């Protein structure tokens, strides 16, 4: 009887600890969080995975374009610094989420993904 509540406390603590680890590797951020991360991390690598045509329609000033559809995308990803944080965005958040998973597999330490993508940045007026 007495062991059951204690087990639940340990289990919840373990799950919370593990969840925290996952979030640390790959964090989805809002447009305002995106802006704060850019402002507070001068060495951050901002990667826009939209197409060159989308890039021409507007972009984050310090972003580097790595086209999601480029056949050499994996080589371009490998050229990034795995020890520096990476902030990804695309038009609506889908493509950048997929690239975030690839970066995680490649051993990148800190990955942020803009949920809602560039469209939400523009809508919130923080680009």
Residues known to be catalytic: 90
DSSP code of residue 88: E
Q: Which helix (H) or strand (E) holds 98?
A: helix 94-105
- CA distances 104 to 7, 86, 89, Å, are 32, 11, 15
Burial of 73 (C-beta count, 10 Å sphere; 0-12/13-18/19+) = middle
What sign does the dihedral 107-34-116-15 (CA atoms) show?
A: positive
């Amino acid at each position: 009887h007495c062991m059951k509540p204690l087990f639940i406390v340990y289990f919840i603590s373990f799950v919370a600890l593990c969840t925290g680890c996952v979030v640390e590797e790959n964090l989805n951020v809002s447009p305002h969080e995106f802006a704060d991360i850019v402002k507070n991390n001068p060495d951050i690598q901002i990667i826009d995975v939209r197409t060159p045509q989308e890039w021409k329609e507007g972009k984050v000033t310090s972003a580097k374009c790595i086209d999601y559809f480029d056949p050499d995308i994996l080589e371009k990803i490998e050229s990034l610094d795995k020890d520096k944080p990476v902030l990804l965005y695309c038009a609506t958040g889908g493509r950048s989420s997929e690239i975030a998973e690839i970066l995680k597999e490649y051993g990148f330490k800190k990955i942020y993904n803009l949920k809602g993508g560039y469209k939400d940045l523009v809508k919130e007026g923080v680009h």
